[in-house]
Structure 1
Amino acid sequence: MGLLEGKRLLITGVLMDSSIAFHVARLAQEEGAQVVLTSFGRTMKITQTIAKRLPQTPPVLELDVTSQEDLDSLAERLGEHVDGLDGVLHSIGFAPPGAFDFLSGTWEDVATALHASAYSLKALSVATLPVLQQGSSVVGLTFDAKFAWPVYDWMGVAKAAFESTNRYLARDLGPRGVRCNLVAAGPIRTTAAKSIPGFEQFENTWSTRAPLGWDVRDPEPAARACVALLSDWFPATTGEIVHVDGGVHAMGQ
């Protein structure tokens, strides 16, 4: 029996087969889960094409997490494919180019980053709450927000808000039997990462600082952690951040 046998999962953020979310979806299916993906706008066709590379081609629902209309109809639209949910993966982040210049970033840039990259965790959790079953798991992907990283700027602030949002969700959804946890992955060479100016600064130094080493081309370690948290193997863990970064978070400068 697979680790996720019989589970029904909603997975956001599958854009390319290099994405962590894609590998979560692949591993989840291999472990017995039924998967539904989301995408929106111009990326819908890309996600639908990439979805065909999974062991089973899942349905892809339209979902812009900054659209209240999409969020309000999500539970009903999910009902066309699954009779409930046992887990949700939040793998969403966006910031305009101006947000990657801390001193010059405008409130409009910052507000967009916070809405899409932090508030959306709460919005997605609430939107799926009507169909989330007792014992369900919400898992999000973050990049350790304890530090002021080079080039990350307002997206780093958004990730700090994201991590705080997870703790408040753990508080409020725990009584409903829903666990909320994050995976803090080291830098992975994904489409999203390539959109960050100067991302190569992370690529060039991370493996030298990680006691276990680090491969920026390998999203599977982070994906495995997500799958584990989506399973029943962490029944009493919530509000947590699991680091999958080769150990960099524990090292001094």
Structure 2
Amino acid sequence: MLLDGKKLLITGVLMDSSIAFHVARLAQEQGAEVVLTSFGRTFKITQAISRRLPQEAPVIELDVSKDEDLDSLADRLGEHVDHLDGVLHSIGFAPQGAFNFLEAQWSDVATAMQISAYSLKSLAVACLPRMREGGSVVGLTFDAQYAWPVYDWMGVSKAAFEATSRYLARDLGPKGIRSNLVSAGPIATTAAKSIPDFEQFARWGEHSPLGWDVKDPVPAAQACVALLSDWFPATTGEIVHVDGGYHAMGF
């Protein structure tokens, strides 16, 4: 199996419609042992959703904006796994004010940047004491080379997120750890509901040579699982597009 014996930390499992949920499901089906994270009011929700996986996975508290959660993460992971082979970063948040580019206040932008970009570095560093050589950090992005309608400061955060992955690739490479991203097309997840006028992305498939289903998170999850495996041992700092081919078209 693709992930036989691997031990993975998966963030961002909130509902069974999320990409992260399907990464966790596919990872277990491919032989991995999975630990999930959640925090606050969503913790019990993640615990309930975990029961829908092939094997119920433990859930540990992690708010990436809290130093105390990050500083203790490796020790708390040790209660469930003795090491890590990979981590999925599927975390993003921006206050509503950040979705108005010209009027956004720094406080809203700072929150978006910390949770949606800086946290990739924070999470990777927090996991390092448990990570083995050959490990893999995989994050989920939304193509940041364009100024999308309504995405605004979340789009800027994703640009920072993509740059962060490249710098992680540089600094973690000597430790034998890869850092890559999957740039997924729009998926109708819980997080997407916070984006104003998200429904306009429903026509994405009209300009994608392979088509696109905003209700199908599995293709993006499959790419994440592949990058978490040993099948990309010499690939780092990369962004794999899973968007039906939209990014390559001239629309």
Runs of 4+ in 1 over 3 A off after TM superposition: none
Q: 1:246 Cα deviation (Å)?
A: 0.1
Match of 2:17 in 1: 18
Cα deviation, 1:163-205, whole Å, max 9, x if unaligned, reads 00000000000000000000000000100001111111111x2
Match of 1:226 in 2: 224
**Residue 215 of structure 2, aligned match among 214, 217, 236:** 217
Match of 1:150 in 2: 149
Equivalents in 2 of 1:233, 1:88: separation in Å? Answer: 16
Match of 1:196 in 2: 195
Equivalents in 2 of 1:57, 1:201: separation in Å? Answer: 36
Q: 1:147 Cα deviation (Å)?
A: 0.1
Cα deviation, 1:102-155, whole Å, max 9, x if unaligned, reads 001000000000000000000000000011000000000000000000000000
Match of 1:28 in 2: 27
Equivalents in 2 of 1:65, 1:209: separation in Å? Answer: 36
Equivalents in 1 of 2:69, 2:152: separation in Å? Answer: 29
Match of 2:134 in 1: 135
Question: Counterparts of 1:48-63 in structure 2 under 5 Å?
Answer: 48-63=47-62
Q: 1:95 Cα deviation (Å)?
A: 0.2
Cα deviation, 1:25-81, whole Å, max 9, x if unaligned, reads 000000000000000000000000000000000100000001000000000000000
Letter in 2 for 1:25: A
Equivalents in 1 of 2:12, 2:61: separation in Å? Answer: 12
User: Percent sequence identity over matched residues?
Assistant: 78
Match of 1:175 in 2: 174
CA RMSD in angstroms, aligned pairs only: 0.3
Letter in 1 for 2:100: D
Match of 1:98 in 2: 97
Match of 1:88 in 2: 87
Equivalents in 1 of 2:183, 2:106: separation in Å? Answer: 26
Q: Secondary structure at the match of 1:135?
A: strand
Q: 1:206 Cα deviation (Å)?
A: 0.3
Q: 1:219 Cα deviation (Å)?
A: 0.3
Q: Secondary structure at the match of 2:72?
A: helix
Equivalents in 1 of 2:167, 2:238: separation in Å? Answer: 11
Letter in 2 for 1:132: M
Segment of structure 1 superposing worse, 154-163 or 190-199: 190-199
Letter in 2 for 1:234: F
TM-score if structure 2 supplies the norm length?
A: 1.00
Q: Which runs of 5+ in 1 are unaligned?
A: none
